[in-house]
Amino acid sequence: MARLKFLCDTDRCIECNACATVCKNEHEVPWGMVRRRVVTIGDGEPGEKSVAISCMHCTDAPCVAVCPVSTLYQTDIGVVLHDKDTCIGCGYCYYACPFGAPQFPKSTLFGSRGTMDKCTYCAGGPEENGSEEEYRKYGSNRIAEGKLPICAEVCSTRALLAGDAEVVGEIFKERVISRGYGSGAWGWKTAYYPEERS
Neighbours of 184 (CB within 10 A): 14
Considering only CA atoms, which of 145, 152, 57, 150 is closest in space to residue 101? 57
Q: Given phi > 0 = left and psi -120 to 50 = alpha, else beta, which region is 85?
A: alpha
**22 vs 26: CA distance, rounded Å:** 6
pLDDT in tens for each of the 198 residues of the chain?
578 999 999 999 999 999 999 999 998 887 778 899 999 999 888 889 999 999 999 999 999 999 999 999 999 999 999 998 999 888 899 999 999 999 887 666 554 567 888 999 999 888 888 889 988 888 889 999 999 999 999 999 999 999 999 999 999 998 888 876 555 554 544 444 444 444
Considering only CA atoms, which of 56, 71, 62 is closest in space to residue 3? 56
Match domain 4-193 to its CATH number in 3.30.70.20, 3.30.70.360, 3.20.20.70, 3.40.640.10.
3.30.70.20
Sequence ranges of the domains in the chain? 4-193
CB 70, CB 90: distance < 8 Å: no
